[in-house]
């Protein structure tokens, strides 16, 4: 229609993209810099003590935890994603979304539930003692649930869905052609998987894995309950018991640098690789029939993590909730549930809108500045929630008191605190923390759209924005929905930031659960814990169905 | 042109955001009938007390449940902080807020009358509201009378493989260790921590209640815990099995022949930034008064600070005990040393 104008508009828009991305990245990074600033203004040098006592233990424990959870989630996540996407076996269609269910289960809650079941005083060991006539602890061996191994198991069970989700999205987005080419060139299904499908899915899987590792690194609830001395436990110890918040910030900064190093080295390792779908041939996926024993094995492989990570703990919680039912408490819980949902929807929506802007402008503008801006903006996920919350408070407190000071000086009245202690502060905190989730997911999806699409659209006269709207967004719909869901579910479970930033007379489901759970009164918290799971499960199911349908040519399986 | 219209837009946006936020937070702003509380004690615990206060005084209480980060929040909010008072457990927390200059002294004849001097700051910077003792829970079956009578006994080799305790880093254990540092010095305290560590039946884990559960199940013979857990377990209607745990142990108040049992407080303090100072003082006075002290005693099985307030019959049944008279602030000063000591003896590993 109007060929010359879009060009100029395009130019104008391009500047807008860059500015928007840099502004967002700056906003998201300020609290992290506040933490680093805190680290640079120490009250007491904590390092000599830490180095001479616990530091090496913190580091080795944390590394083993990360390695264990990383391996576990890779094995379960990638394995089941491949089975569910490419093979046909009994129950496959249920597992497509069912595999995601444990995602709604907070790690600290599953830890409480399994401790109740598996500890010395729990029903399993009591039954064994009854059965074999053992009288005491010395007479038999049973794995200790409150241990490093226990923590690895708990976190693997609830975190593998991150890897599953992104691996499956990658497998779904791969065109069958490549895989078929490999098969027709004489490679078997296993070799084709390892030499073609897996490397193609690597960016997605790596993003899933890095989310898992950062969650693991920052977990406090589970390791605290299991008394597993990780780095994050050390941060809180320095902060709370030694009353040294800047020492805690120093430890957090070291952890952040470690994560930055990991992220950077992975990117560097695949710096020359780009994975776009080269063929537009999205035929129905092949669907290898697994019959007999192999089919059964596939079913069991998928069923076990869902049973252990979701079904069993949910049943236990249901039983507690039934035993401890209290109508008055239930009404209160409903109010908290509304708070949780409101906050999570708000944060989820904003996080994804922002992520689309950032990922898309990096795509069309390219260049180091935007790449760095995006990576830095996503670093909030690598800082423990409570420490990041302190960063957010420092930023908002300074802003509020700055505005107040100006108003007092110039206009003779006080504005008080504008942002501190409001819903806006909590939402901002969530965004800073969870931007990595939405950005990573959107980037991974966008990366699979071949740039020739952009070229075609632009040469046909569409501007950058229109190209995004009409070409990219429909193609990355699955990724966008995944991003919304990830942020939503994580916000529902989020505890430390909410506790520190929440306004007066305000509670979420997570903080409500915490007040009981911190006292190991799981019974009274069971209903609220179930509500977290219940509310989280709804979008998980809805969106995973949408994702399955979003692949052109994918008919949901016959 | 675009520039001016844009900056107008920005100004308008900032204004409307500020206005909106001010309207939103209006509920927590200065007003005669309100008081704003930051509490690290759980809402379910505080609710009956605060409701009683509101119905008596007509003053509405707005509360934030801040388990962590209260000090940092008060600091960053500065002079504009809406909080009028704080409510925390453990002397360490009161002490840290005081040291950070976040509290202000209060003079109230009501408070000095209600609260004995050892449980409040000399200048009125903070006030203890409830007292709990850190005691030894001993198996009725497996611990002979007199076998264990002091904290020192927990470190005696005769207790090898028989002791359960929660994380050495938990605030209650840090305070206990700090009290031993105050009583006997750093070297003796280190030896004690090493001795207890050597006697542990299992790696430190769980909360105080979980230790008694472990004694009930025969995993260990003695445990360390705060007094009120006993009451909570013995009367637990929702989870009756806890009554069995409580039945399996005796409470031993340690060091009755010597310095006495280590006690700690939960307490309140008025913030430096308080806008509703009078109401905040009124709330603390109420919490230290007969009605509230009775609620504390009955619902949470704590010892009231106010002399003369009746104990819960069960708490009374444990008998009188001698409390360590060491000044609480002195104990709080040793917390950092105690924390490092726990690392040095690798207590939690």
DSSP assignments along A346-374, one per residue? HHHHHHHHHHHHHHHHHHHH-SHHHHHHH
User: B310 CB contacts (<8 Å, ≥6 apart)?
Assistant: B294, B297, B316
B239 lies within 8 A of chain A by CB: yes
Specify the long-range contacts of residues A455-459, CB closer than 8 Å, at least 24 apart.
Answer: A458/A10
Chain A partners of B349 at a C-beta cutoff of 8 Å?
Answer: 57, 229
The alpha helices in A270-324, defined as continuous H runs, are 292-306, 312-323
* Cα distance between residue B289 and residue B85, in whole Å: 17
Residue A90 makes CB contacts below 8 A (sequence gap 6+) with A295, A296, A299
- Report the DSSP beta bridge partners of residue B88: B267
Give the pLDDT of residue A272: 65
Pick A237's closest partner by Cβ from B82, B339, B346. Answer: B339
* pLDDT tens, chain B, 349 aa long: 344 444 454 454 444 444 444 444 444 444 458 999 999 998 888 999 999 999 999 999 999 999 889 999 999 999 999 999 999 988 889 988 999 999 999 999 999 999 998 899 999 999 999 999 999 999 999 999 999 999 999 999 999 999 999 999 888 999 999 999 999 999 999 999 999 999 999 989 888 998 999 999 888 999 999 999 999 899 888 778 889 999 999 999 999 999 999 999 999 999 999 999 999 999 999 999 999 999 999 888 999 999 999 999 999 999 999 999 888 888 988 988 999 999 999 998 8
C-beta atoms of B210 and A503 within 8 A: no
Cα distance between residue B131 and residue B328, in whole Å: 12
Q: Do A515 and B218 touch (CB under 8 A)?
A: no
| pLDDT value at residue A1 | 39
Q: How far is CA A178 from CA A181, A552, B273, in A?
A: 5, 16, 67
Q: Do A507 and B73 touch (CB under 8 A)?
A: no
- Enumerate residues 44 to 73 of chain A having a beta carbon within 8 A of any beta carbon in chain B: 49-50, 53-54, 57
Distance of alpha carbon A74 from alpha carbon A84, whole angstroms: 15
Substitution target from A60, A418, A516 for chain B, most B beta carbons within 10 A: A418
In the prediction, which pLDDT does B24 show? Answer: 45
Token duo for residue A454: 């952009």
Torsion from C-alpha of A463, A465, A470, A474, nearest 10 degrees: 150
Residues of B in contact with A19 (CB under 8 A): none
B27 inside 8 A of chain A by CB: yes
Which of these, B67, B75, B79, B126, lies nearest to B270 by C-alpha position?
A: B126
CA dihedral A315, A320, A326, A331 (to 10 degrees): -40
Determine how β-strand B60-65 pairs with β-strand B263-270.
unpaired
Nearest CA distance, A342 vs chain B (angstrom): 16
Third-level CATH fold of A1-38+325-551: MetI-like fold (1.10.3720)
Q: Comparing C-alpha atoms, which of B196, B348, B193, B73 is closest to residue A233?
A: B348
Q: Is B10 on the interface with A (CB under 8 A)?
A: no
B contacts of A237 (beta carbons < 8 Å): 169, 339
Chain A residue at shortest CA distance from B334? A242
Residues across chain B = 349
The span from the CA of A36 to the CA of A32, in Å, is 6
- Are B76 and A398 an interchain contact pair (Cβ–Cβ within 8 Å)? yes
Q: Scanning every residue of chain A, which has its alpha carbon at the shortest distance from the alpha carbon of B90?
A: A241
pLDDT at A73: 97
Inform me whether the C-beta atom of residue A398 falls under 8 Å from chain B C-beta atoms.
yes
Q: CATH says A47-323 is which class?
A: mainly alpha
> What are the residue ranges spanned by the domains of chain A?
1-38+325-551, 47-323
Task: List the 81-120 stretch of B: residues with Cβ below 8 A of A.
Answer: 81-82, 92, 96, 99
Which one-letter DSSP state was computed for residue A104?
G
Q: From CA A22, how far away is CA A29, in angstroms rounded? A: 10
> What CA–CA distance (Å, rounded) separates A446 from A482?
13
Rounded (5°) CA angle B203-B205-B209 = 130
All structural domains of chain B = 32-130+264-309 (3.40.190.10), 132-262+321-344 (3.40.190.10)
Query: A393 and B344 in contact by Cβ < 8 A?
Result: no
Tens-place pLDDT, residues A461-492: 888 888 888 888 887 887 888 888 889 999 99
At residue A432's C-alpha, the angle toward residues A168 and A45, to 5°, is 115
pTM greater than 0.80: yes
Residue A252 DSSP symbol:
H
pLDDT of residue A142: 87
Q: Count the Cβ atoms, other than its own, within 10 Å of residue B57.
A: 16
Question: Most B CBs within 10 Å: which of A417, A425, A496, A508, as the mutation test of the B interface?
Answer: A417
User: Residue B269 CA to chain centroid, in angstroms?
Assistant: 13
Q: What is the pLDDT of residue A548?
A: 64
Reported ipTM: 0.83
Chain B residue with minimal CA distance to A515? Answer: B42
Query: How many CB atoms within 10 Å of residue A319?
Result: 12
Find the CB nearest B21 among A54, A418, A523.
A418
Q: In chain A, what residues touch B72 (CB-CB under 8 Å)? A: 245, 390, 393-394, 500
Sequence-ordered list of residues with C-beta below 8 angstroms from that of B301, at least 6 positions apart, any chain: B227, B228, B230, B231, B232, B312, B314, B315
B207 CB within 8 Å of a chain A CB: yes
3-class DSSP state for residue A491?
helix
User: In angstroms, what separates the C-alpha of A170 from chain B's closest C-alpha?
Assistant: 40
A31 burial type by CB count under 10 A (0-12 exposed, 13-18 middle, 19+ buried)? buried
CB pairs under 8 A between A and B: 179
Q: Is the minimum CB–CB distance between A469 and chain B shorter than 8 Å?
A: no
CA separation for the pair B182, B327 (Å, rounded): 9
Residues of chain A with pLDDT under 50: 1-13, 280, 553-558
Count of all residues that appear for chain A in the document: 558
Q: Beta-strand (E) ranges in B34-172?
A: 34-39, 60-65, 85-89, 127-139, 163-164
Q: Which chain B residues are closer than 8 Å to A245 by Cβ?
A: 71-72
Nearest CA in chain B to A146: B205
A211-240: b (≥16 Cβ within 10 Å) or e: bbbbbbbbbbbbbbbbbbbbbbbbbbbbbb
Chain centre to alpha carbon of residue A140: 39
Closest CB to B18: pick one of A147, A394, A415: A415
Residue A515 C-alpha, separation from nearest chain B C-alpha, in angstroms: 6
- Tokens standing for A317? 């919680």
| Surface-to-core class of residue B328, CB atoms within 10 Å of its CB (0-12 exposed, 13-18 middle, 19+ buried) | buried
Please name the residue of chain A whose CA is at the shortest distance from the CA of residue B213: A121
A361 Cβ under 8 Å from any chain B Cβ: no
Q: Is A414 on the interface with B (CB under 8 A)?
A: yes
Separation of alpha carbons B91 and B126, rounded Å: 10
Shortest CB distance from A397 goes to which of B43, B76, B202? Answer: B76
Burial class (CB in 10 A: 0-12, 13-18, 19+), B311: middle
Does B340 contact chain A (CB < 8 Å)? yes
Q: Are B65 and A507 within 8 A, CB to CB?
A: yes
pLDDT at res. B253 = 96
Closest residue by Cα to residue A381 from A431, A427, A448: A431
A positions 244-263 inside 8 Å of B (CB): 244-245
Domains A1-38+325-551 and A47-323 share a fold: yes
A424 close to B (CB below 8 A): yes
- CA B257 to chain A, closest CA, distance in angstroms equals 31
Disruptive mutation site among A420, A497, A522 for chain B (greatest number of B CBs within 10 Å)? A420
CA distance A329 to chain B (A): 10
Q: Say yes or no for a CB contact (<8 Å) between B64 and A146.
A: no
Residue with tokens 């430096």: B272
- Chain B touched by A394 (CB under 8 Å): yes
Pairing of strands B60-65, B249-252: unpaired
> In whole angstroms, how far apart are CA B294 and each of B48, B268, B320?
12, 17, 18
- Cβ of B27 within 8 Å of Cβ of A505? The answer is yes
- Nearest residue to B73 (alpha-carbon basis) of B266, B273, B318, B243: B273
Residue of B nearest to A239 (CA): B69
CB-closest option in B80, B213, B239 to A400: B80
Phi, psi torsion values for B266, nearest 5 degrees = -110, 150
Comparing CB atoms, the residue among A50, A54, A515 nearest residue B44 is A515
Q: Contact A120/B219, CB-based, under 8 Å? A: yes
The alpha-carbon gap from A53 to the nearest alpha carbon of chain B, in Å, equals 6
């Amino acid at each position: 229609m109007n060929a010359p104008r879009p060009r100029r508009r395009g130019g104008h828009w391009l500047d807008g993209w860059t500015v928007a991305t840099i502004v967002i990245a700056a906003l998201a990074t300020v609290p992290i810099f506040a933490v680093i600033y805190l680290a640079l203004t120490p009250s007491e040098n904590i390092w000599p003590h830490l180095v001479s006592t616990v530091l090496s233990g913190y580091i080795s424990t944390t590394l083993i935890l990360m390695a264990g959870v990383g391996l576990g989630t890779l094995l379960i996540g990638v394995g089941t994603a491949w089975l569910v996407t490419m093979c046909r076996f009994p129950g496959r269609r249920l597992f497509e979304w069912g595999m995601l269910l444990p995602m709604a289960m907070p790690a600290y809650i599953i830890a409480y539930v399994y401790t109740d079941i598996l500890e010395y005083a729990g029903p399993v060991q009591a039954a064994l003692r009854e059965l074999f006539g053992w009288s005491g602890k010395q007479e038999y061996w049973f794995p200790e649930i409150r241990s490093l191994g226990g923590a690895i198991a708990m976190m693997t069970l609830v975190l593998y869905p991150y890897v599953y989700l992104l691996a499956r999205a990658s497998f779904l987005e791969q065109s069958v052609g490549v895989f078929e080419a490999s098969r027709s060139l004489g490679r078997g299904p296993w070799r084709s998987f390892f030499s073609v499908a897996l490397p193609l899915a690597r960016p997605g899987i790596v993003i899933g894995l890095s989310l898992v590792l950062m969650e693991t690194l920052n977990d406090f609830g589970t390791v605290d309950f299991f008394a597993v001395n990780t780095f994050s436990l050390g941060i809180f110890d320095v902060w709370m018991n030694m009353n040294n918040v800047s020492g805690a910030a120093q430890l957090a900064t070291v952890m952040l640098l470690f994560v930055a190093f990991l992220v950077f080295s992975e990117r560097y390792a695949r710096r020359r690789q780009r994975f776009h779908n080269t063929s537009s041939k999205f035929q129905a996926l092949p669907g290898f029939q697994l019959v007999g024993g192999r089919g059964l094995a596939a079913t069991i492989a998928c069923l076990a993590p869902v049973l252990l990570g979701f079904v069993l703990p949910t049943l236990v919680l249901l039983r507690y909730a039934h035993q401890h039912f209290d109508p008055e408490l239930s009404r209160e819980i409903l109010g908290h549930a509304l708070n949780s949902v409101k906050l999570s929807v708000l944060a989820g929506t904003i996080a994804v809108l922002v992520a689309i802007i950032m990922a898309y402008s990096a795509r069309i503008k390219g260049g180091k500045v935007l790449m760095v801006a995006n990576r830095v903006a996503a670093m909030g996920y690598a800082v423990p929630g409570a420490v990041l919350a302190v960063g957010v408070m420092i930023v908002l407190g300074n802003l509020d008191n700055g505005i107040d000071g100006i108003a007092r000086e110039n206009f003779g009245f006080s504005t008080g605190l504008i942002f501190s202690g409001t819903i806006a502060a909590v939402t901002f905190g969530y965004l800073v923390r969870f931007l990595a989730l939405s950005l990573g997911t959107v980037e991974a999806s966008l990366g699979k759209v071949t740039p020739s699409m952009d070229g075609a659209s632009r040469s046909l006269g569409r501007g950058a924005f229109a190209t995004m709207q009409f070409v990219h967004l429909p193609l990355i719909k699955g990724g966008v929905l995944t991003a919304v869901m990830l942020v939503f579910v994580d916000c529902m479970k989020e505890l430390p930031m909410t506790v520190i930033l929440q306004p007066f007379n305000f509670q979420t489901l997570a903080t409500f659960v915490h007040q009981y759970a911190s006292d190991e009164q799981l019974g009274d918290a069971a209903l609220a814990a179930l509500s977290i799971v219940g509310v989280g499960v709804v979008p998980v199911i809805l969106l995973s169905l949408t994702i399955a349908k979003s692949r052109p040519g994918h008919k949901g399986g016959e | 042109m675009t520039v001016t219209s844009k900056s107008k837009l920005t100004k308008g946006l900032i204004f409307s955001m500020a206005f909106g936020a001010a309207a939103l937070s209006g509920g927590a702003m200065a007003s005669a009938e309100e008081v704003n509380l930051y509490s690290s004690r759980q809402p379910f615990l505080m609710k009956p007390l605060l409701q009683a206060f509101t119905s008596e005084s007509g003053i509405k209480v707005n509360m934030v449940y801040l388990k962590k980060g209260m000090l940092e929040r008060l600091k960053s909010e500065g002079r504009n902080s809406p909080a009028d008072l704080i409510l925390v457990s453990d002397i360490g927390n009161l002490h840290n807020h005081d040291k950070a200059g976040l509290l202000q002294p209060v003079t109230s004849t009501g408070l000095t009358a209600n609260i004995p001097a050892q449980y409040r700051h000399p200048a009125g910077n903070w006030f203890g509201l409830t007292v709990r003792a850190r005691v030894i829970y001993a198996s009725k079956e497996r611990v002979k009378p007199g076998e264990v009578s002091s904290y020192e006994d927990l470190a005696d080799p005769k207790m090898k493989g028989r002791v359960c305790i929660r994380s050495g880093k938990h605030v209650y254990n840090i305070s206990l260790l700090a009290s031993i540092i105050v009583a006997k010095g750093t070297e003796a305290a280190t030896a004690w921590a090493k001795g207890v560590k050597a006697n542990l039946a299992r790696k430190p884990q769980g909360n105080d209640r979980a230790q008694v559960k472990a004694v009930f199940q025969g995993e260990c013979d003695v445990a360390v815990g705060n007094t009120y857990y006993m009451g909570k377990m013995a009367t637990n209607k929702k989870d009756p099995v806890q009554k069995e745990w409580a039945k399996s142990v005796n409470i031993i108040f340690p060091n009755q022949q010597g310095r006495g049992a280590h006690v700690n407080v939960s307490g309140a303090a008025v913030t430096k930034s308080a806008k509703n100072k009078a109401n905040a003082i009124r709330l603390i006075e109420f919490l230290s008064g007969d009605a509230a002290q009775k609620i504390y005693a009955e619902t949470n099985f704590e010892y009231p600070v106010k002399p003369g307030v009746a104990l819960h019959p069960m708490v009374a049944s444990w008998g009188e005990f001698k409390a360590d008279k060491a000044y609480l602030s002195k104990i709080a000063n040793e917390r950092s040393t105690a924390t490092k000591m726990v690392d040095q003896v690798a207590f939690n590993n």
